[in-house]
Copies of this chain bind each other. A is one copy, B any other.
Amino acid sequence: MKMKAVLILSGGVDSTTLLYKMLADGYEVTALTFNYAQRHKKEIECASRIAGLLNVPHQVVDLSGIAGLLGDSALLGKKEVPRCHYTEDAARQTVVPNRNMIMLSIAAGFAEAQEVPEVFYAAHRNDSTIYPDCRPEFVEALRPAIRMGTAWHPVELKAPFLDLSKAEIVKLGLGLGVPYELTWSCYRGEAQPCLECPTCIERMEAFTLNNAIDPLLGR
């Protein structure tokens, strides 16, 4: 019998690669995508398209009602998206406070309700130097809290990319045939990637380090 799991799928490079990896590993995946009123809503459409392509059950969770509570992040369209590589300051401009714990706690409740034993998210090594809620110590702390909060059908938190760089994730995904042209990263969320914001720059680097061309840019 297949192992069941819930995956937080943003529609970006990392979580899409994780979805392909989980399917290759034999998981039966349900994907959740969060609408938190992010500026780059395009990623939600990307997630839907990818899930549809793979026949993966997919739900978009509407959290747009909480965006007003979460401060003035550039990701919520309240200030300009920085035009630079990830720096401490750029990270602070783009952080949505406690976003990952919010998404993971809802994913864990959803998993418990369906008696699905695992929740995955694609935090990785680059993220962990940037955002507090992507760090290994955060994952290690949250794991027992989720297990205890869902005690009747305990849910285990998995973050298998914690030790991988984004370039290593892209390497894995290229091997798995991930259609990166269907993914979206750019924080601006306009017609084409801006190639100036932190996540665009990081994405370009990850492909360059693999001597590969990002198929999203070739279109």
Tell me the A residues contacting B by CB distance below 8 Å.
Answer: 32, 59, 61-63, 65-66, 69-72, 92, 95-102, 104-106, 108-110, 112-114, 132-133, 135, 137-138, 141-142, 144-153, 155
Contacts and interface: CB of A to CB of B under 8 A. Distances in A.
B132 A101 contact: no
A32 B207 CA distance: 44
A179 to B, nearest CB: 28
A65 B102 CA distance: 14
Contacts of A59: 69
A208 to B, nearest CB: 30
12 contacts: A59-B69, A62-B66, A63-B65, A69-B109, A71-B114, A98-B112, A98-B149, A102-B105, A135-B151, A137-B148, A138-B149, A141-B141
Nearest to A32: B69
Nearest to A138: B148
Contacts of A99: 109
Nearest to A150: B98
Contacts of A144: 141
